[in-house]
Every structure is written in C-alpha cells, then in structure tokens.
Amino acid sequence: MQNELVIVLDFGGQYNQLIARRVRECGVYCEVRSYKTPLDEIKKLAPKGIIFTGGPNSVYDESSPHIGKEIFGLGIPILGICYGAQLIAYTLGGKVETCTVSEYGKTETFYNKHCRLFGSDPELPASAVSWMSHTDRVTVLPEGFTAAAHTKDCPFAAFENTDRNIYAVQFHPEVNHTQYGIRMLNSFVKNICYCKGDWNMRNYAQKTIEQIREKVGNGKVLLALSGGVDSSVACALLSKAVGDQLTCVFVDHGFMRKNEADEVEEAFRDWNVKFIRADASERFISRLEGVSEPESKRKIIGEEFIRVFEEEAKKIGAVDFLVQGTIYPDVIESGTGDAAVIKSHHNVGGLPDCVDFKEIIEPLRMLFKDEVRKLGEELGLPDYLVWRQPFPGPGLAIRIIGDITREKLNILRDADLIFREEIAAAGLDRQINQYFAVLTDMRSVGVMGDGRTYDYTLALRGVTTTDFMTADFARIPYDVLEKASIRIVNEVGNINRVCYDITSKPPATIEWE
C-alpha cells in the first residue's frame, strides 16, 4: 500500500528539511524534491499536495530559480512559503518588489478568518506572532487572488485562490517561532489536500521488513555497527527481516564512553543476529601515541577502522549486501535543488574494495532522526540505544585536546558519565540535543584539602538544535551545572576546574576538534 504523499519543491530554502519534518508530524508522508523535477515525474508521484520552499533569491532576478505555469494546472493544491509565495505571485502575473521596510524575526500577523487556509481551523486566533525573514514582498496580487493575512509592513502576508487551490504565506509556518504554524500546515494537508494521515512507524517497519526480505532472498548481509541510533535501528530492522543471514561487525576502537562498548554488545545479545565485537582498542591507542593534531587523529582512526573491518569481513566470506545507516538529512545535505551542498555523506566511509557486494541496503534513507528514534522504539530497542547521544566516529579521541593517553581516557570517561548522569537526573536528557565533556590540555592551579593542585581543566558542552548544522548553547540551570562540577572535582582525579562552553554554532562547531 502506497502512503499519501506531499512533496516539497526546494528553491534553496534553509528550512526545506524542516518543512518536510513538520508535514510528517501531521501524519503525512513528505519528500523534498528539486524545483527542477520534471512535470511528468511529479504527475507519476501523484502527490496530494505540493509545497514551494523559501529561498535566498529575488524572483524578479532572471538568474533566480523559477517554475513553469504548467504546475498550477495539475489540479493539485499548492502552498508557497516565503520565496515560494513570491514565486506564485510573480509567475501568475502579480508584482514583487523590494520592501520599504524588511521584516525579520517575530512579527505580529493578522489573519483573515474567512479565508480557507486559516478559517478551516476554528482554534486559530485572528492574530498571532509569525516568523518573517524577507527583503522582498508581494505588492500586487495576481488576478483571482485575495489577501488572507497582513502585518504592519506587509499587506499580503498570506493570499489564496480557492478556485485554483493555490495558497501562499510570506512567513515560515514550519519554524517554531511561528505560533500555530504546525496547525496551519496541518490545515493545509488535512483540510485542503484531504490527507487522512497514514504515515507512522509501525506501518513503515512492516512494509520495510517485507521489502528487505524480498530483496535479500537467501543472500548474506553485512552491517558495520557503531552502536549509534542509526546503525542500531538498521540492525534491528534487518534482524527481523533476514535473521541469521545478517552479520554485524562492531569495531571497538577503545574511544567509547564508559561501559558503552559492553552495553552495545549486551543490547544485541538476544537479537537473532550474528554479532562480532572486534576489540581493537590497544591497536588504535598505540597508533595515536604522540599525535595531537585533530585532523591527523581523525585520519588515523578512519584508516585503522577500515583495516580492522577489512580483516573481519574476510573472515565472514562472500557478502551479497552491505547495510548502511544513511538517513534523510544525509541525502538532503548532499544537495537538492539550488540548495548548497552542506556536506557530502559517504556512510560506507571508504570501505575496502575487497568487500564484494551486489547492492547497498539503506532502510532508513527516507527517515529523519526523530523518526529513526520512533522506529527504534517500535522495534523494541532499549531507551539507552534509541536516545543515545550523538557521538563522533573517532569518539573520545577528539574530545581530548592534545595527545591521547590511557590515563586521559579514563579521566574523561568518568567525568563525562557524571555530567550525563546529572543531566538525566534533572530531566533534561531529551531537551538538550547533545551534551558531553571535553578534557582540555590546559592545567591550572587549584586548592584541595588545604593543598595546592595543578591539574586539568574540564569543559562541559551542551547544545540545542533541530538539524545539527546550526546550534545554540543549551541554557542548563546553574544548579545542575554546579552539581556536575562538584561531583566531577570530588570524584574524578586530576581535575580541579570545570568550565561551561557558551558558544553557539557558528562561530564554533559542536565538537571541539
């Protein structure tokens, strides 16, 4: 059974992922496609609705992305957001000009409750705050369109043509700062596109398991398991689909958090899967002796991982399929439409040529991170795996500034565990998207037990983010930071000072190295 579909046509907007996520939160399956997608392909997809994203361009600039009028003749409801709204007006004969007063941030917006887009939700108030970000605005509506909302400086903050099923908003309903924004998107997909909302992880799991069984047949499947949520959920899916035809290789490089390697092994002990734990910790630590430059650390760890994986793969023998935990943001960030390529994702990360396989299986390719977590819960994975903190491939090796020693690894493991325990005890573990400790290479003078100390400074880091491309430092309450600091200094040797990193991304990155 095919899910109902809404497609997002990407015109280079920074919130393209977020729009799709919000639509899926309404229980409707949504995909991001380039605005260059041929009309025939859109027809074959048979979407119930189409959403145009925002973008950084001006529609009256000939070099900006445009779209043919033919799409408006498909009879499919269309919603334009920001640049998408201006594009609708410009393409259909309206006028778009530079604003006399630009609007950025939270803006009081007044809605026409008699219009279809806003009037179909009785709980939507006549005015509320919306999130604006534009230097152009629609100054003349196309023929047949009527205003649906306005602000002090924008007469057409929303407009619509109900006869043609075309709707447009200048603001961003997908952003949390827009009050009732999710209700507006829900109104579009449910009340205008008439979607029932058949998208959920239970149905996705059942359908994906059936598809994997059909594809794999009697073949052998190999998965490089990190213990992170993506690879863990991929393992659970494949385990239910093909059972002992799957072999998972977990390379323990010795830079995992405290007890984590054992927890990963324990988590998969009862799954119907061949689990291989390759303990290569001594090998990795030896390779990194005396290395302090972060990029060198990454390259050495990456190369050594490949070598260990290669050795383990040879022991298994011929493999038909390789599983990787690619998720939908990986696909989108690698480039759609005129959006910038943020980073190209190569989830097999240079796997050795000798691992010969017929095909790559990516069972999570169309899921966002929050959906992967929901799928993990649906498949019965334990909470500590489903809600595991994002963890870099090189692990603690890039959370120790400077050279790496076994002593420093033990110090950081103990301190990081205490920080995570205190965050969890305060009930903040699902509110803060990533939090961890960093052992700096700085020593400072301290006083403990009336004696002088000269020990390491530990930095704590916590961020909130929706996409990990930008992030704000988490406003952790002082009393929580104080508890973590007191425990760390008293329970962990060689640390006499604790700092909290209050830098956002950009200018900083989330990780220190």
Residue 82 known to be catalytic: yes
Here the tokens at position 96 are 């778009």
Structure tokens at 122: 């009785």
Annotated active-site residue in 4, 103, 174, 378: 174
Q: Which two tokens stand for residue 95?
A: 């006028």
Q: Which of 26, 172, 195, 304 is an active site residue?
A: 172
Q: Quick one: tokens of 418?
A: 């205490």
Q: Which of 4, 26, 30, 82 is catalytic?
A: 82
Count CA atoms within 13 Å of residue 32 on its CB side: 31
Give catalytic status of residue 491 as yes or no: no
- Rounded CA-CA distance 32/438 in Å is 36
Our answer to whether residue 172 is catalytic in this structure is yes
Q: Which two tokens stand for residue 435?
A: 């939090």
Structure tokens at 286: 């030896």
C-beta separation of 116 from 39 below 8 A: no
Q: Taking Cα atoms as reference points, which of 188, 158, 233, 148 lies closest to residue 22?
A: 188
Distances in whole angstroms, Cα of residue 327 to Cα of each of 224, 229, 234: 15, 11, 10
Of 294, 282, 276, the residue nearest 255 (C-alpha)? 282
Other Cβ atoms closer than 10 A to 206: 12
Structure tokens belonging to residue 337: 């439409």
SS3 186: helix
> What does each C-alpha distance from 491 to 126, 203, 446, 495 come to in angstroms?
56, 47, 16, 9
Q: Which residues are catalytic?
A: 82, 172, 174
